[in-house]
Structure 1
Amino acid sequence: MTSTLPPPENSGLRRARIAERTFRTDRWWLGPLVTTLGLAVFIVYATARVFQQDHYWVEQYHYLTPFYSPCLSASCAPGSAAFGTLPWAFPWFLPYALISLPFLLLFRFTCYYYRKAYYRSIWQSPTACAVREPHARYTGESRFPMIGQNLHRYFFYAAVLISLVNTYDAIIALGHGENGGFGIGIGNLVLVANVVLLWCYTLSCHSCRHAFGGRLNSFGRSPVRYWMWTRISRLNTRHMTFAWVTLGTLMFTDLYVALVSSGVITDLRIYN
């Protein structure tokens, strides 16, 4: 394997040049391809559902899809806006969850794992070891707009608040059974499972780990924070898994609520 390195004076500005397209003999392209397809499926589905503005609420059981929580438009279905609405109806190009969705998207977009995923698969920087890159220069995250990745820690705090809202949605739905009291249906299990996994993804975030233990000079003086930091560190090792699993659970939860809301399926009740 050979490569031609750039002159020393430009070593920080240019990539190592590989004459061949790749020296790999395995299917190195499979990982980037699957990653791109997986992200594309979620983006297409989520975009279509967010702007559909229908079949997001099941009044009988108080099921609200996370894509529409909190519902803020004055045209939200009665009962779906648990925290109230703004005084006007949104046009079709504004999602009902106008405040929460941008922060959730930015939280995921700036996530350390997702950066790795789309840098390698979509931006191809780098695609894989010993594979020629399409970029001659490398500036990392030092220029606009990529310098905005450093705001991830702030989007984390917003994601925590939104996760609390999703948790509230899942809990309050348990109080809307067939007879108006406590009840459990398949939809409740779906909502609760989705919330639990969203918390796993949010709390396994690198910024969360840093918030609890990253600035401590001595763990011995902060035993509680050290205990929390160790638990978060264990979750952190599965952050990539939770990143992908929650994309699936978000789509499944939304699809389930949409199918029940539209009357395609009936929610199976386990209790009451």
Structure 2
Amino acid sequence: MASPAGTSPTDSPAPVRANTAPRTRRTDRWWLPPLLTTLGLATFVIYATVRSFMRTDYWAAEHHYLTPFYSPCLSDSCVAGSSHFGTPIGELPVFIPLAFLSLPFLLGFRLTCYYYRKAYYRSIWMAPPACAVGEPHERYTGETRLPLILQNVHRYFFYVALVITLINTYDAILAFGGENGFGIGLGNVVLLLNVVLLWCYTLSCHSCRHVTGGRLKHFSRNPVRYRLWTQVSKLNTRHMEFAWLTLGTLVLTDLYVWLVSSGAIADLRFIN
């Protein structure tokens, strides 16, 4: 077929969004997964925000349980015993969370995570909300402009997340030595489970997969890194599961420490 006058066969039209009218002909409940995702993410954000500003019942002194929402606690505002790395920072005003050094990086790590991008792009930004469903946006610029261009710093958040996960691991280890010496309680199990899943989520990150083997051109010349890349790749296939599981274990861990610290429940002890 001949090309229109003044154009060549290689010319392509200006990029526009697909026009679906009506919005969709789907008759199933396509809106349910985006709705559940929105509710799940919103529940976690609300809970974590409230708890981060409460400044109470985050340290169970008898058993040395520290909630991850307040770790590391480096201010003079922290209760005695909860500052595992000292208090190099003075008193903080009430509008600054006690874990202000870690929370912004953890939030950035989660927000820029490849899975969470997929989750909130579909459920909140509706780009698109489901297959064969129209979206409200007329243009699509990808991650080339503000604010979405900031997604490209995910790899740097990953490095900080590694450090914070190490700190959470240290907190969980210290919790085996309470005021009465070495002991194991249900709180230790909860803290340890949370740390294990946090490691699974962090190491299954796409950035971790790239760090271990993304730049290699010859796997045969780098057998150790190839082995690491293989194991990380196996974890990577379950990144979505770990993303949701860790939201649940973070809330569970904080809630348990909250209840024990406030005296609402007593820690179930197995040893000492």
The TM-score with structure 1 as length reference comes to: 0.94
Structure 1 range deviating more: 17-26 or 45-54: 17-26
How well do the aligned residues superpose, as a CA RMSD in angstroms?
A: 1.1
Q: How does 1:155-166 map to 2 (within 5 A)?
A: 155-166=157-168
Please state how far the C-alpha of 1:116 moved relative to its aligned partner: 0.1
C-alpha distance in 2 between matches for 1:113 and 1:152: 12
Q: 168, 172, 179: which is aligned to 2:174?
A: 172
- 1:83 and 2:85 correspond: yes
C-alpha distance in 2 between matches for 1:51 and 1:235: 34
Please state how far the C-alpha of 1:84 moved relative to its aligned partner: 1.4
Contact 1:72 1:98 (8 Å CA) reproduced: no
C-alpha distance in 2 between matches for 1:233 and 1:124: 29
Q: How does 1:70-219 map to 2 (within 5 A)?
A: 70-176=72-178, 179=180, 181-219=181-219
C-alpha distance in 2 between matches for 1:263 and 1:220: 57
Please state how far the C-alpha of 1:159 moved relative to its aligned partner: 0.2
Tell me, which stretches of 5 or more residues in structure 1 are unaligned?
A: 1-6
SS at match of 2:270: strand
Structure 1 range deviating more: 38-47 or 21-30: 21-30
C-alpha distance in 2 between matches for 1:111 and 1:87: 30
- What percentage of aligned pairs have identical amino acids? 68
- 1:230 and 2:234 correspond: no
Please state how far the C-alpha of 1:229 moved relative to its aligned partner: 0.5
Match of 2:46 in 1: 44
Match of 1:29 in 2: 31
Count of aligned positions: 262
- Greater Rg over alpha carbons, structure: 2
Match of 2:60 in 1: 58
C-alpha distance in 2 between matches for 1:220 and 1:248: 40
Question: Residue deviations 1:13-65, cap 9 Å, x none?
Answer: x2110110212121110110000000000000000000001100011111000
Match of 2:14 in 1: 10
Tell me, which stretches of 5 or more residues in structure 2 are unaligned?
A: 1-10
Match of 1:20 in 2: 22
Match of 2:8 in 1: none
Matched residue type, 2:124: I
Match of 1:262 in 2: 262
Please state how far the C-alpha of 1:8 moved relative to its aligned partner: 4.2
Matched residue type, 2:144: S
The TM-score with structure 2 as length reference comes to: 0.94
Matched residue type, 1:25: T
Matched residue type, 1:23: R
Structure 1 range deviating more: 90-99 or 239-248: 90-99
Matched residue type, 1:66: P
C-alpha distance in 1 between matches for 2:53 and 2:177: 29
Question: Residue deviations 1:156-177, cap 9 Å, x none?
Answer: 000000000000000011122x
Please state how far the C-alpha of 1:87 moved relative to its aligned partner: 3.6
Structure 1 range deviating more: 16-25 or 40-49: 16-25
